[in-house]
Structure 1
Amino acid sequence: MGSNDFVTLFFLVAAVLIFLQLRSVLGRRTGNEKPPFDPYSPRDLAKGPGSDDGKVVTLPKRDEAGGDERFAAIDAFAKPGTALNTSLRELTQHDPNFNPKEFLNGARMAYEMIVMAFADGDRKTLKNLLSRDVFEGFEAVIADRESRGEVVKSTFVGIEKAEITQAAVRDNEEQITVRIICQLITATYDKAGTLIDGDAEQVTEVNDLWTFARDIRSRDPNWKLVATEADA
């Protein structure tokens, strides 16, 4: 046998071995194979890869009120069908990342920071947490207090209750009003150190309605205080 015949025979044997190996790995076609999955085919659109014909594919559940998973946190926070639930759902449609429980936790922390910064005359902290109009109002009170040499000493005891009362989207701005009931010890002294307002030992209950806002178009996730009023 010549060298060329040997080489030809070698490749023929190798080809047969490779074919047998592929056959054992991939299997043989029997004529009953399923067509390949086509994600764009109307027939396969409702099926995923590996789905069996005749079986129902379970889609992600929607909540009973006709929403989807985005609204699960809303429904857990406010009873479906209420005005608050409806307004929070509307807000979530504009801001899918909104979570009422997380927002309320943030509002509680912001409330304490603002109250204490106001008492201490900390303009830098206030400027980061307040809208321009509210900051100007707070700053005017602080400046007036300082001009008379008065000093405020406050102790934040804690927040007894915090709840969202209203929510809305107006002109690309999310707005949420929160009712906060807190306990505070506060006393104001004149420049001579004489107590002129409050009580250094008495715990006082404070009821506030604060409105926070955020521009939906902004990448800044932070909310700012845009309105305050005492809750009777």
Structure 2
Amino acid sequence: MQGGFPIDLILFGMVAAFLVLRLRGVLGKRTGFERPPVDQRAAPPAGPRAAESEAPRVAPAAGGPRLVLPDASSPMIQTLTRMQSIDPGFEPNGFMAGAEGAFRMIVEAFAAGDRVTLRSLLSDDTYAGFEGAITQREQANETQRTEIRSIQEMGIEAADLRGTVADVAVRIVSDQVNVTTGGDGLPVAGADAVTEITDVWTFQRDLAVKDPTWRLIGTRSA
């Protein structure tokens, strides 16, 4: 063809623009547990600021663990709404999805002795406790195998806001296999059977800081 702009370049340009928009739509989403990028942290996504009387969205999760969220009239919902007023990107469903992912990562990293992953997701005091247990296990020449077969239920057990520092305690009911073996390969703790375990994990974040990472500050059995 002569004297005209090639039609194939126009088509390629349209396809490229469409793909860019699709990628921005997918990669722009966050749950609140992402690790901040190195040397360049993005600000929280813009969005409408919730009014004090407006409760955050609490629709049940689809295809995941059963979510147990506070009643709309409870003081806990008011606290969650205040958190959302500080960071419009915060909402309970997204937080719970992120908490589930963090739970899986932390449990698996602890079993594997992955200090790097744990360091990025735990507070200083909590990391010291986990690292000490890993060191003790290594010195005893023991190996831990942990498998999370399923997470049955997750619920927000407590929420606290001190200034802009938010604490959210999450009750997690999971089916796990936990076996610790010695250097001879024989089990020294746990059993090769599925056990239901209930934990309460407390996550903390300064909502006024651009770093979106919620760090684990405490664990207990329920």
Name the TM-score, length of structure 2 as normaliser: 0.69
Please name the residue that 2:84 is paired with: 92
Cα offset for 1:186? 1.1
Structure 1: which 5+ residue stretches go unaligned?
1-62
The match for 1:155 is 147
Change (3 A) 1:195 1:169: same
Q: Which residue of 1 aligns with 2:95?
A: 103
Equivalent of 1:193 in 161, 175, 185: 185
8 A contact 1:74–1:88 mirrored in 2 = no
2-side partners of 1:213 and 1:169: how far apart?
Answer: 10
Structure 1 vs Structure 2 CA RMSD? 2.1
Aligned match of 2:105: 113
Structure number with the higher strand fraction is 2
The size of the alignment, in residue pairs, is 165
User: Equivalents in 1 of 2:163, 2:80: separation in Å?
Assistant: 16
Q: Aligned with 1:210: secondary structure? A: strand
SS of the aligned residue for 1:113 comes to helix
SS in 2 for 1:222: coil
Runs of 4+ with deviation above 6 angstroms: none
Identical-residue share of aligned pairs (%) = 34
CA displacement at 1:96 relative to structure 2:
2.1
Structure 2 distance, partners of 1:180, 1:216, is: 23
The answer to whether 1:222 aligns with 2:216 is: no
Unaligned runs of 5+ in 2: 1-49, 61-68
Provide the C-alpha distance between the structure 2 equivalents of 1:124 and 1:99, rounded to a whole number of angstroms.
Answer: 28
1:73 matched to 2:57? The reply is yes
Secondary structure of the residue aligned to 2:57 is: helix
**2:203 corresponds to which letter in structure 1?**
F
**CA separation in 2, counterparts of 1:189 and 1:66?**
52
Contact kept? 1:166, 1:176, Cα under 8 Å: yes
TM-score by length of 1: 0.66
**Residue type at the aligned position of 2:157:** T
Question: What residue is the counterpart of 1:207 in the other structure?
Answer: 198
